[in-house]
Structure 1
Amino acid sequence: MSGRRVGFCLSDKKRRRMNLDAFAVFCEGHGVEVVEIDLTQPLAHQGPFDIIVHKLSDVIVDAEHDSQSQQVLANFQSYVSAHPSTVLLDPLPAMKQLLDRFASYHIMSELHKTLRDWDICSPLYLVIHSAGDLPSIQQALMTQGISFPLICKTRVAHGSLSHEMSLIFSAGGLADIRPPCVLQSFVNHGAVLHKVFVVGDRHFCVERPSLKNFPSGPCDRKTIFFNSHQVSKPESNSDLTALDEQMPCLPPPSSEAVAALVRELRVQLGMALFGVDVIVSIHTHTLTVIDINIFPGYEGVPQFFSSLLSHIKSVLDKQASDSPESTQTTGGPSAAPTGL
C-alpha cells in the first residue's frame, strides 16, 4: 500500500475526537500518507487522493439553508465526479439519508422482515411533519398501536439539537413536541445501551448507560427533557440512568444476531463507517434497534486505528484488482452512487 494518499475531510470537533494527528502518525508507519482536506480551498490543488474519508454532516445540513455551504458541497461533489477513481467513504446519498430520522427509522422498521430469523426489531414510531391539533396526533398513535411513554427526537440526526430529546408520558405531554420530529415507543431495557461500532467488515460492541425503566401506559408525570450525550456517554452520571428497582441482569445481545444486523445494514446503507444503538427488552429479550449513527466517535474501541487502516487498505486493494471498466468503489458491500 506504499504511496497511498488518504484525504480526511472532518470538522474540527470530529478531527479532535478521532485524534486525527495520532492516526496520521499511525498510517505513516504503514506507508500511508494522511492529508487533511481544506474545503475552503480547491480540492484539485490538494489531491490526488486514492480515498477520501469524510464526515460532511455539518455541510450537508447547513446546505439546506446556507448558500456558502451549498457551494462547498457542490465543489466537493464536482471534484469527486471528476475523479471517479477516488474512493469515497462513505457515499453522500447514504450519509444524507441517515441525517434524516424519517428516512433512517423507515430503514430500521423494515429490518424485522430481512432479519426475522434473529428476533430483531425496532420500536413503533410516528413521524410528525408539522404542528397539528393534538387529538389528531393522539388518534394516529392509537391507530398505529403506539403506547406511552414515548421518546421524542428531532428529525435532523446531527448537531447539538439532535441530542435534545424528551420522554412524554401522556396525551397532555404531546403539547411539548416541536415538529418536525419522531415519536418513538419507549422500550424498557434495564438502563443498558449497546453501541455497535462498524468499521467495514469488523464491528465492536460497547456497553453504555441508558435510560431507566418507566411504567408502561399513560400517567400524569410531566415531560422529561434530556440530552442523550449526558445520558449515554461513557462518563455519564444521571438520575435518569439509575434504576428504581432491583432487576436481574439482562442477557447481552447475541453476537450472531449483531453480526447479522451489521451485515444487513451494510447492504441496506452501502456504508462502512457507522454505528447502531441497540437495546434488549426486559420483557421479551428482543434485540431492538433504536438509532443508526454516521461515522460515530468509536469511544471504547481500542482497535479503531488498525481497523480503519485495514479497511482502507482492503477497499483500495479491491479497487486495484477490479477490471479496468470498474470506475468507482464505495465503502459498503454494494455499489452506491456518489451524487446527491
Structure 2
Amino acid sequence: MSSPSPCSSSWSSQRYRIGYALSPKKVESFIQNSLINKAKQRGVDLIKIDPTKPLTQQGPFDCVIHKLYGSDWNNQLRQLALHHPNVVVIDSPESIKRLHNRISMLDVVTSLKIPPGDQTFGVPNQRVLDESEWIRLKK
C-alpha cells in the first residue's frame, strides 16, 4: 500500500511549523498577511523567530528559513541541528559559507564548461584589498 500524497485529504490534519528569521526589511517585503493566511489554509504555520532568544527554546519547528548571518546566529543553528536533527534548515551555515566568499563563488563559475555560441560568458577580474591598500586608494 502506498503512502498518501501530500495533497490527499488524509494529510489535512498534519500541520507544519516553519520558523523564519529575516531582517526587518525582508519581513516587510515577503511576510505579508496574505502569505501567512494562505499558508495557514494549507496546513503551514509561519512563525517569526526572535534571533535575540535561544533558537532551541523557540518552536518546535519542522523547518527554519533564515537570512541572518554571524557567528552567534550560526552557533544557534548548529545547536538547533544538534538538539533537533530532524529540523530542516534552509540554508545551513555550511551551505552558504562559500557564497559569502566572492572569490570561491566565482571559482565555481569560471570552472563551468559552457559550449561556445553566440553568447559570451565571463567573470570580471577580482582583487582582494587589505586595509592598507583600501585606505591608500581612498585618498
When the two structures are superposed, what TM-score results if normalisation uses the length of structure 1? 0.32
Q: Give the CA deviation at 1:40.
A: 0.9
In the alignment, which residue of structure 1 is the partner of 2:41?
Answer: 29
SS of residue matched to 2:45 = strand
- Please give the secondary structure, in 2, of the residue aligned with 1:40: coil
Query: Match for residue 55 of structure 1?
Result: 67
Contact 1:9 1:37 in 2 (8 A): yes
CA contact (8 A) 1:11 1:55 kept: yes
| Aligned residue in 2 for 1:5 | 17
Aligned length: 121
In the alignment, the residues of structure 1 paired with residue 92 and residue 118 of structure 2 have an alpha-carbon distance, to the nearest angstrom, of 30
Shift of 1:26: 1.4
Q: Which residue of 2 aligns with 1:127?
A: 126
Distance of aligned partners of 1:124 and 1:47 in 2 relative to their CA distance in 1, 3 Å threshold: closer
Equivalent AA in structure 1 for residue 85 of structure 2: P
The 2-side partners of 1:23 and 1:4 are apart by: 15
- Aligned partner letter, 1:116: P
Same amino acid, percent of matched pairs: 26
Task: Name the structure where helix makes up a greater proportion of residues.
Answer: 2
Alpha-carbon deviation of 1:122?
A: 3.5
Say if 2:18 and 2:62, in contact at 8 Å, map to a contact too: yes
Partner of 1:76: 77
Equivalence for 2:54 = 42
Confirm or deny that 1:105 pairs with 2:117.
no
Q: Residues 27 and 34 of structure 1 are in contact (CA less than 8 Å); yes or no, is this contact kept in structure 2?
A: yes
Deviation at 1:120, TM superposition (A): 6.9
Residue equivalent to 2:96 = 95
Secondary structure of 2:42 counterpart: coil
Change (3 A) 1:107 1:119: farther
Consecutive unaligned residues of structure 1, counting only runs of 5 or more, are 61-69, 132-174, 178-340
Give the drift of 1:85.
0.5
More strand as a share of residues: 1
The 1-side partners of 2:86 and 2:117 are apart by 38
Matched ranges for 1:1-340 at <5 A: 2-56=14-68, 59-60=69-70, 70-111=71-112, 113=113, 115-116=114-115, 122-130=121-129
Q: Which amino acid aligns with 1:76?
A: L
| Partner SS for 1:126 | coil
- Cα deviation per residue 1:34-81 (whole Å; 9 max; x = unaligned)? 11111111222212111111112xx23xxxxxxxxx333312221122
Partners of 1:7 and 1:15 lie apart in 2 by: 12
- Residues 49, 97 of structure 1: CA spacing in aligned structure 2 closer, same or farther, 3 A cutoff? same
What root-mean-square deviation, in Å, do the aligned CA atoms of Structure 1 and Structure 2 show?
A: 2.6
CA–CA distance in structure 1, aligned partners of residues 95 and 118 of structure 2: 26
- Give the 3 Å change call, closer, same or farther, for CA 21–119 of structure 1 in structure 2: farther
Residues 255-302 of structure 1, C-alpha deviations (whole Å, 9 max, x = no match): xxxxxxxxxxxxxxxxxxxxxxxxxxxxxxxxxxxxxxxxxxxxxxxx
Structure 1 counterpart of 2:105, one-letter code: S
Give the TM-score of the pair, scaled to structure 2. Answer: 0.72
